[in-house]
Amino acid sequence: MSDTPAKASPRQPAQAQAADPVYWKPQSRIWYALAVISFLLALGANLLIPANLPGLQPGLDYSQDFPTDPTNYRILLAAVAVLLVLLFAVSHFWNPLRKRLLHKAQFIFAGGLALAVWDVLSSKLFIMRPPYFPGPVNLAAYVPTNWLGLLNHITASSQLFITGLVLGTVFGIGTGILIGWFRQWFYWLFPILKFTGVVPATAWMPLATVLLKPAPVAMTFLLVIASWFIISFMMAQGMESTPKALYEVSETLGASRRFLLLHVAIPNAMPSIFTGISTATAMSLLTLVAAEMMGATAGLGYFINYSKAFNKYYQVYAAIIIMFIVFSVLLAIINAIRNRALRWQKGLVQQ
């Protein structure tokens, strides 16, 4: 701090140099208190503002079972407020958590406000009207009471996604090794692979649903097609990028050609494989939802399409939020595997 320039630039105050580069937001308890208050405010808004204000026409959903019970929403808000307080108490014993909480305080505050605004605009003032714009009350009322049905769709989607990605990865790595190591395989297989890579997987959908029965088989096929090309391509490329010196030094250590493949080329391709898997994951999710919308009888994509057909847009919103949560978990698992496998790389090692 002593050698800080006397005239600090206005954008980067002198103290910024000492500040935490990760949790750079003000470590202020006031913001955290405001964050808790914002959720209490949302709760208060829902409790105190009447829904039947004079001169306003309530916007009812066309469907019979439009969930309007505010209890769940109120419990949720109260629970979040209590959780925030509890976390803060716990963080007294664990400084990293405290830093993180205080860093996120402004965002949490904004989140509480946004919920309050959304709630008032939809369920209270009917400016955002059903069926297209349900309020947080409707979503909170719907999800817990239909949890089992939703779980079926979540399971169906996850199963399909995992099967497709695992098979695609296995085939992708297999063909990647073949085309990356053997000229003959490259000559014959690569053009075919390229064909399946250039044509989007969804283009196969009509054919797949007709030719492959039952439906999950067709969908697994589409998911495999979606991930196969990119993974095998990245695998082959990763093997090709092996520095010549590594092959040469291995040979002077007594390595056979088999050893070069298994212990030099394939390990060298690991970062590349995971880049391929990340891309394949994104493409698989895209294909998954599109395929479920067209040809499935279960799954979150199917559920969205089904809900739309019955004008139950609150279900569409619920499905999208659930998708976010489920897919985030799946991506986090893939990332964890990747970080474990690539822990030898620069920057990933945190010790």
Binding site for another protein (CB under 8 A): 243, 245-246, 248-256, 259, 263-264, 267-268, 270, 343-346, 349
CB of 239 to another protein, least distance (A): 13
CA separation, residue 83 to residues 99, 186, 243, 285 (Å): 16, 57, 52, 32
Nearer to another protein, 331 or 341 (CB): 341
Amino acid type, 325: I
Which of 65, 248 has the CB closer to another protein? Answer: 248
Which is closer to another protein, CB of 51 or CB of 260? 260
| Helix (H), strand (E), coil (C) string for 36-53 | HHHHHHHHHHHHHCCCCC
By C-alpha distance, which of 175, 160, 183 is closest to 301?
160
Nearest to another protein of 213, 258 (CB atom): 258
- Terminal-to-terminal C-alpha distance of the chain: 27
Nearest to 141 by CA among 71, 229, 200: 71
Quote the least distance from Cβ 273 to another protein, whole Å.
12
Which residues fall within 8 angstroms of residue 120, CB to CB, at 6 or more apart? 45, 49
CA 90 to CA 336: how far, in whole Å? 26
In whole angstroms, the minimum distance from the beta carbon of 346 to another protein comes to 5
Closest distance of CB 268 from another protein, Å: 7
Min CB(230)–another protein separation in Å: 22
The distance of closest approach from Cβ of residue 333 to another protein in the complex, given in angstroms and rounded to an integer, is 22
Q: Are 332 and 326 spatial neighbours (Cβ–Cβ below 8 Å)?
A: no
Separation of alpha carbons 113 and 116, rounded Å: 5
Q: Which is nearer to another protein, 112 or 238 (CB)?
A: 238
C-beta neighbour count of 258 within 10 angstroms: 8
Q: Closest distance between another protein and the C-beta of residue 236, in Å?
A: 18
What residues have CB less than 8 Å from 89, skipping those under 6 apart?
none
H/E element, 235: helix 215-240
Nearer Cβ to another protein (166/349):
349
Q: CB-wise, 124 or 338, nearer to another protein?
A: 338
